[in-house]
């Protein structure tokens, strides 16, 4: 449970910190007016722009236009660092502050001539003399050769110049650290998958981590990889594709770890919904991202609630993670809640996967112990007191009373010991070896019980393998729990049948049963041994039944072909 | 001697039979072999026996079912088994001897010799006495038994809670099993010595034992000396 605590501490706490550190703004932005055309005096602070238009200009062919935005500076600059302005504006432009040119981005009006120059996000410092408290005028002279319908000031921030630059870098640094962590996780789980190709959840998790890494890099690399506004659309499209991938893979992953009925149908439907959202406005990042994130959240929530209802391991952790995402969304900006939400969900997936790895390790350790135990049990068959002491007592008697037979008895015993030694380390042995073991055992038991045992087999396929001492155990049970027929015989018969789906061994005992009512033989150590051996080699792909019949006992072992 | 051998291995049963005949000799009045639990129980019910030789693992059945029945009967039981670790439990139930497999004639002879012997066994290992009551077997912990009183071929067990139970074994056979902690202070009484408070000598060489709960039990004149030398 420390996990969950760490999760909260590692991801949420820094975000709250960042959020709570956001200062009160030093400026107020007023309504922007525009005019198509180009006159130097339009930059002036006190130019009369009453006849200018509100809203966004629509131009053709890279015409020059002007924006004028009155800005109220709310605090005097009391620092040595000047104020600066950070802009997200489509187009190539010059920036004027109170009539003074403070920055240039590309070649407004001459884009066609010089080609794409400049970038989407620019930061300019404002001369200290022009930033006293009160109203100022931001004027932008720009042109928009590509995407003429995208004109407008998309975002604007004024603060100390140093802060504008460094805050952005700190944010980017933090996000890159996060991206790096996911890149490493992605590689790690990819390698884990490559070493065990059955583990698809690992591959999906690896893909999610990688997509999330690329998404962060795509979003936060603009500080050092200048993007011209003409390429911005391409960038948004790439982000949209990444979003589509992540939004599909995360619920797909949950559906693998928390299976539910008809999940293929639901997941296909969900995929269709995502594709629809993607295709309607794939370049309108905020809207698409919001819709996709919301659909993903809803679908994942449905699945996880079902998993919690079914008491699936880890489902409560994932549910709390999803609810935490909502909480963050309520208090933080979209960007913060978006990335921290995805980060949290990926951590939740990581938690599930680590749980799964732990379970697999435990299961593997258990299987090792189980195999050792079964091996010991096989070895014990011939040294457990009931077998060895009764055999030795009979043997002494034969040696004393009929030494010739005594020698044959010893040879039969040696044969069984030899066979057991040969199969002791195997998990599967040829069926013929198993039959030889049964026959050797019958020989010994004939000397002990002085009953005539007969063995018959039918349709045996020499190429088949079977876990060691399974039939031997059934034979032992048959001998122990049966009384001979009137002619002092007990007959055993093994029938082999197979088809495309399974192979089937039917082992029959023809004898008088010791008791009229079957007791708990089914739960005896012999039957447990058989079931454990079958599970060891065939997992759940087997069936075993053992029941009394009119003529004795009938055992059926069915092995499904894998 | 009437002997029953309960053993599911034919060869071993024959061996026991052969040896038993050699040991008992002329005295063998009947010898029967049964190879399964049901037949054995049935035979015990219908016949009078002196001794049962019993294997504890019969055709996968738990021989202790048969053992509890056997020890509640009037005859002695000797267990012949491959499982040495069952010996302690068998003794606790009140078997006369435990012969581990594989065995030879000497070992079997030793077991047979205990049947008729007056000699007591090593410190008693018996923890329960099995009695038949309303067709079922009940195990009475030995701590609950104050004394036993002979009643013909049966024995009455007097318990700490004042209840009296009937055991099918004779007082002599119980004396063999209970050794040491119990003493035959009278031809009809077998008393747990730890329950004896004092021995009262009355005029006319009459002796009586007073138990912790105040009960008075007669002490045989001939037995008094033994008791005095051993316990007082």
Kindly report, residue by residue over A414-427, the tens digit of the pLDDT. 999 999 999 988 89
| pLDDT exceeds 70 at position B123 | no
From chain A, the residues in CB contact with B59 under 8 A are: 480-483, 514
From chain B, the residues in CB contact with A393 under 8 A are: 9, 11-12, 15, 82, 101-103
State whether A7 and A84 are in the same domain.
no
| pLDDT exceeds 80 at position A401 | yes
**CA distance to A49, A68, A102, per residue, from A41 (Å):** 11, 12, 15
- Determine which of B33, B85, B102, B106 to mutate to test the interface with A (most A C-beta atoms within 10 Å): B102
Q: Of A115, A131, A161, which residue sits at a domain end?
A: A161
Cα–Cα distance, A289 to A478 (Å, whole number) = 69
State whether A179 and A101 are in the same domain.
no
For chain B, percent of residues with pLDDT exceeding 70: 95
Mean pLDDT, residues A288-305: 89
For chain A, percent of residues with pLDDT exceeding 70: 93
**CA distance to A240, A285, A340, per residue, from A288 (Å):** 7, 5, 18
State whether A407 and A447 are in the same domain.
yes
**Residue of A327, A318, A367 lying closest to A533 (CA atoms):** A367
Q: ∠ CA A79-A85-A87 to the nearest 5 degrees? A: 160
- B80-101 burial: b if 16+ Cβ within 10 Å, else e: bbbbeebbebbbbbbbbbbbbb
| pLDDT exceeds 70 at position A9 | no
Q: Of A361, A396, A424, which residue sits at a domain end?
A: A361
- CB contact (8 A) between residue A514 and residue B59: yes
Does the domain at residues B2-116 carry the CATH identifier 3.30.1330.60?
A: no
Bridge partners for B58 per DSSP:
B61
Nearest-neighbour CA in chain A from B6: distance (Å): 14
- Which bin fits A174, alpha (ψ -120 to 50), beta or left (φ > 0)? alpha
- Determine which of B8, B18, B60 to mutate to test the interface with A (most A C-beta atoms within 10 Å): B60
- A428-467 burial: b if 16+ Cβ within 10 Å, else e: bbebebbbbbbbbbbbbbbbbbebebeeebeeeeeebbbb
Tell me which of A522 and A536 has the higher pLDDT: A536
State whether A131 and A192 are in the same domain.
no
- pLDDT attached to residue A81: 84
B54 CB neighbour count, 10 Å cutoff:
24
| Average pLDDT of chain B, as a whole number | 85
- pLDDT attached to residue A66: 92
Cα–Cα distance, A65 to A127 (Å, whole number) = 24
- CB contact (8 A) between residue A386 and residue B57: yes
Chain A: which residues have CB within 8 Å of chain B? 385-386, 388-390, 392-398, 447-451, 477, 480-483, 514-515, 521, 524
The model's confidence at residue A1, banded by pLDDT at 50, 70 and 90, is: very low
- Please tell me the least confidently modeled range out of A429-438, A452-461, A506-515, B56-65: B56-65
Mean pLDDT, residues B38-51: 88
- pLDDT attached to residue A522: 47
The model's confidence at residue A15, banded by pLDDT at 50, 70 and 90, is: low
From chain A, the residues in CB contact with B57 under 8 A are: 386
Mean pLDDT, residues A139-164: 87
| pLDDT exceeds 70 at position B147 | yes
State whether A181 and A194 are in the same domain.
yes
Interhelix angle A431-449/A470-480, nearest 10 degrees: 20
State whether A51 and A130 are in the same domain.
yes
- Please tell me the least confidently modeled range out of A130-139, A516-525, B129-138: A516-525
The model's confidence at residue B121, banded by pLDDT at 50, 70 and 90, is: low
Name the residue in chain A with its Cα closest to that of B83: A385
Cα–Cα distance, A471 to A490 (Å, whole number) = 16
- pLDDT attached to residue B143: 84
Name the residue in chain B with its Cα closest to that of A526: B60
| pLDDT exceeds 50 at position B161 | yes
Name the residue facing A397 among B15, B37, B84 (closest C-beta): B15
The model's confidence at residue B207, banded by pLDDT at 50, 70 and 90, is: confident
Nearest-neighbour CA in chain B from A521: distance (Å): 8
By CB atoms closer than 10 A (0-12, 13-18, 19+), residue B218 is: middle
What does the CA dihedral A424, A430, A432, A436 come to, rounded to 10 degrees?
0
pLDDT (tens digit per residue) in B183-203? 888 888 888 888 888 888 888
Interhelix angle A525-538/A470-480, nearest 10 degrees: 160
| pLDDT exceeds 80 at position A7 | no
Mean pLDDT, residues A347-369: 88
In a domain, A369, yes or no: no
**Could you write out the DSSP letters of every residue in A290-302?**
HHHHHHHHHHHHH
Name the residue facing B9 among A394, A515, A521 (closest C-beta): A394
Nearest-neighbour CA in chain A from B32: distance (Å): 17
Mean pLDDT, residues A340-345: 86
From chain A, the residues in CB contact with B53 under 8 A are: none
Tell me which long-range contacts A360-366 makes (C-beta under 8 A, separation of at least 24).
none
Tell me which of A298 and A149 has the higher pLDDT: A298
**Residue of B7, B74, B225 lying closest to A450 (CA atoms):** B7
> Before A228, cis peptide (omega within 30)?
no
User: Which residues, in sequence order, are CB contacts of A378 under 8 Å at separation 6+?
Assistant: A420, A423, A424, A468, A469, A529
In a domain, A101, yes or no: yes
What pTM was estimated for this model as a whole? Answer: 0.62
- pLDDT attached to residue A514: 72
From chain A, the residues in CB contact with B86 under 8 A are: none
| pLDDT exceeds 60 at position A244 | yes
Report the run of H or E that residue B13 belongs to, with start and end: helix B10-24
Contact A83, A94 (CB under 8 A): no
Q: Of A361, A394, A427, which residue sits at a domain end?
A: A361
Cα–Cα distance, B2 to A121 (Å, whole number) = 113
**Residue of A366, A378, A370 lying closest to A470 (CA atoms):** A378
CB-based contact, B60 to chain A, within 8 Å? yes
Q: Are strands B189-192 and B182-186 parallel, antiparallel or unpaired?
A: antiparallel
Cα–Cα distance, A21 to B195 (Å, whole number) = 88
Mean pLDDT, residues B204-217: 84
The model's confidence at residue A228, banded by pLDDT at 50, 70 and 90, is: confident
State whether A178 and A133 are in the same domain.
no
By CB atoms closer than 10 A (0-12, 13-18, 19+), residue A50 is: exposed
In a domain, A541, yes or no: yes
Mean pLDDT, residues A198-221: 90
DSSP at A128: G
**CA distance to A157, A213, A219, A230, A332, per residue, from A227 (Å):** 19, 19, 11, 8, 27
Token digits of residue A383: 């040294």
**Could you write out the DSSP letters of every residue in A33-100?**
EEEES--GGGGSTT---TTPBPS----STT-EEEEEEEEEE-S---SSSPEEEEEEESSEEEEEETTE
Name the residue in chain B with its Cα closest to that of A482: B59
- CB contact (8 A) between residue B83 and residue A477: no
State whether A55 and A79 are in the same domain.
yes
Phi, psi of B70 (to 5 degrees): -60, -45
Within chain B, all domains assigned CATH 2.40.50.1020 are found at 128-231
| pLDDT exceeds 80 at position A296 | yes
In a domain, A368, yes or no: no
Helix, strand or coil, per DSSP, at residue A501: coil
Contact A45, A133 (CB under 8 A): no
| pLDDT exceeds 80 at position B38 | yes
Within chain B, all domains assigned CATH 3.40.50.2300 are found at 2-116
> Token pair 């960007």 is at which residue?
A335
Cα–Cα distance, A396 to A121 (Å, whole number) = 100
For chain B, percent of residues with pLDDT exceeding 90: 20
From chain B, the residues in CB contact with A514 under 8 A are: 36-38, 59-61
The model's confidence at residue B216, banded by pLDDT at 50, 70 and 90, is: confident
CB-based contact, B39 to chain A, within 8 Å? no
Q: What is the CATH code of the structural domain delimited by B128-231?
A: 2.40.50.1020
| pLDDT exceeds 70 at position A2 | no
- CB contact (8 A) between residue B82 and residue A385: yes
| pLDDT exceeds 80 at position A23 | no
| Average pLDDT of chain A, as a whole number | 87
State whether A195 and A269 are in the same domain.
yes
- CB contact (8 A) between residue B36 and residue A514: yes
Number of structural domains (chain A) is: 3
What is the CATH classification number for the domain harbouring A322? Answer: 1.20.1070
The model's confidence at residue A517, banded by pLDDT at 50, 70 and 90, is: very low
Report the run of H or E that residue A443 belongs to, with start and end: helix A431-449
- CB contact (8 A) between residue A393 and residue B36: no
State whether A147 and A237 are in the same domain.
no
What is the CATH classification number for the domain harbouring A538? Answer: 3.30.565.10
In a domain, A276, yes or no: yes
User: Which residues, in sequence order, are CB contacts of A72 under 8 Å at separation 6+?
Assistant: A27, A28, A30, A134, A135, A136
DSSP at A23: P
- Residues of B numbered 87-146 whose beta carbons fall under 8 angstroms of chain A's beta carbons: which are they? 100-104
Name the residue in chain A with its Cα closest to that of B80: A390
In a domain, A525, yes or no: yes
- Determine which of A385, A443, A553 to mutate to test the interface with B (most B C-beta atoms within 10 Å): A385
State whether A419 and A491 are in the same domain.
yes
In a domain, A11, yes or no: yes
pLDDT (tens digit per residue) in A322-335? 999 889 888 887 77
The model's confidence at residue A14, banded by pLDDT at 50, 70 and 90, is: low
User: Which range of residues forms the domain containing residue A257?
Assistant: 2-21+165-361
- Residues of B numbered 207-226 whose beta carbons fall under 8 angstroms of chain A's beta carbons: which are they? none
The model's confidence at residue B232, banded by pLDDT at 50, 70 and 90, is: low
The model's confidence at residue A111, banded by pLDDT at 50, 70 and 90, is: confident
Mean pLDDT, residues A18-34: 76
| pLDDT exceeds 90 at position A145 | no
Cα–Cα distance, A141 to A110 (Å, whole number) = 12
| pLDDT exceeds 60 at position A6 | no
What is the CATH classification number for the domain harbouring A93? Answer: 2.60.120.260
Q: ∠ CA A448-A451-A453 to the nearest 5 degrees? A: 105
State whether A282 and A220 are in the same domain.
yes
Report the run of H or E that residue B73 belongs to, with start and end: none
| pLDDT exceeds 60 at position A29 | yes
């Amino acid at each position: 449970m420390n996990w969950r605590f760490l999760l909260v501490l590692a991801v949420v706490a820094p975000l709250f910190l960042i959020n709570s550190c956001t200062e009160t703004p030093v400026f107020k932005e007023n309504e922007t007016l525009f005019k198509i055309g180009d006159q130097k005096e339009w930059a002036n602070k006190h130019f009369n722009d009453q006849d200018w238009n509100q809203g966004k200009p629509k131009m053709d062919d890279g015409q020059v236009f002007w924006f004028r935005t009155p800005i109220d500076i709310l605090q005097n600059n009391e620092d040595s660092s000047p104020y600066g302005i950070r802009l997200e504006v489509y187009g190539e432009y010059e920036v004027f502050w109170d009539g003074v040119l403070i920055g240039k981005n590309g070649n407004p009006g001459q884009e066609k001539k010089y080609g794409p120059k400049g970038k989407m996000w620019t930061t300019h410092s404002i001369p200290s003399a022009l930033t006293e408290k009160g109203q100022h005028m931001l004027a932008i002279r720009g042109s928009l050769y590509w995407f003429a319908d995208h004109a407008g000031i998309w975002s604007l921030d004024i603060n100390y110049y140093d802060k504008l630059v460094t805050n952005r870098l700190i944010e980017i640094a933090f996000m890159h650290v996060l991206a790096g962590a996911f890149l490493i996780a992605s590689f790690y789980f990819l390698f884990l998958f490559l070493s065990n190709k059955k583990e698809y959840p690992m591959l999906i998790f690896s893909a999610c981590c990688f997509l999330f890494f690329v998404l962060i890099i795509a979003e936060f690399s603009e500080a050092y990889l200048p993007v011209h506004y003409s390429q911005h659309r391409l960038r948004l499209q790439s982000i949209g594709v990444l979003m589509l991938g992540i939004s599909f893979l995360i619920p797909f992953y949950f559906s693998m770890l928390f299976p539910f009925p008809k999940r293929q149908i639901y997941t296909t439907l969900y995929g269709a919904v995502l594709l629809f959202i993607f295709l309607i406005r794939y370049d309108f990042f905020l809207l698409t991202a919001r819709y996709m994130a919301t659909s993903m959240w809803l679908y994942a929530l449905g699945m996880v609630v079902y998993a919690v209802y079914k008491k699936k391991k880890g489902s409560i952790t994932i549910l709390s993670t999803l609810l935490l995402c909502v909480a963050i969304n309520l208090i933080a900006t979209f960007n913060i809640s978006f990335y921290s939400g995805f980060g949290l969900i990926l951590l939740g997936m990581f938690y599930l996967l680590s749980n799964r790895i732990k379970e697999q390790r435990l299961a593997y350790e258990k299987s090792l112990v189980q195999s050792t135990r079964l091996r010991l049990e096989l070895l014990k068959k011939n040294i457990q007191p009931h077998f060895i002491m009764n055999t030795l007592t009979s043997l002494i008697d034969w040696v004393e009373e009929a030494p010739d037979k005594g020698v044959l008895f010893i040879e039969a015993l040696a044969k069984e010991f030899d066979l057991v030694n040969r199969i002791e380390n195997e998990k599967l042995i040829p069926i013929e070896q198993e039959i030889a073991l049964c026959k050797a055992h019958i020989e010994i038991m004939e000397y002990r019980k002085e009953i005539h045992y007969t063995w018959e087999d039918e349709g045996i396929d020499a190429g088949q393998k079977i876990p060691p001492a399974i039939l031997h155990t059934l034979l032992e049970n048959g001998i122990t729990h049966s009384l001979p027929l009137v002619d002092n015989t007990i007959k055993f018969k093994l029938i082999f049948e197979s088809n495309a789906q399974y192979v089937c061994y039917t082992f029959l005992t023809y004898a008088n049963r010791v008791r009229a009512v079957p007791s708990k033989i089914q739960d005896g150590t012999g039957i447990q041994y058989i079931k454990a051996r079958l599970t060891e080699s065939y997992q759940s792909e087997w069936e075993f039944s053992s029941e009394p019949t009119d003529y004795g006992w009938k055992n059926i072992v069915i092995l499904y072909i894998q | 001697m009437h002997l029953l051998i309960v053993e599911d291995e034919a060869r071993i049963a024959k061996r026991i039979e052969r040896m038993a005949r050699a040991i008992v000799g002329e005295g063998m009045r009947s010898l029967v072999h049964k190879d399964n639990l049901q037949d054995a129980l049935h035979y015990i019910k219908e016949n009078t026996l002196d001794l049962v030789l019993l294997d504890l693992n019969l055709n996968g059945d738990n021989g202790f079912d048969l053992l509890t029945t056997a020890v509640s009967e009037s005859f002695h039981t000797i267990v012949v088994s491959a499982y040495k670790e069952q010996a302690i439990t068998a003794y606790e139930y009140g078997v006369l001897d435990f012969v581990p497999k594989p065995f030879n004639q000497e070992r079997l002879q030793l077991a047979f010799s205990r049947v008729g012997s007056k000699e007591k066994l090593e410190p008693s290992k018996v923890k329960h006495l099995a009695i038949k009551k309303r067709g079922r077997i009940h195990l009475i912990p030995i701590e609950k038994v104050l004394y036993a009183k002979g009643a013909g071929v049966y024995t009455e067990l007097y318990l700490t809670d004042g209840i009296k139970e009937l055991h099918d074994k004779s007082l002599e056979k119980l004396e063999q099993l209970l050794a040491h902690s119990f003493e035959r202070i009278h031809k009809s009484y077998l008393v747990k010595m730890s329950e004896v408070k004092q021995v009262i000598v009355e005029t006319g060489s009459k002796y009586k034992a007073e138990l912790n709960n105040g009960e008075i039990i007669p002490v045989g004149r001939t037995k008094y000396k033994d008791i005095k030398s051993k316990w007082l």
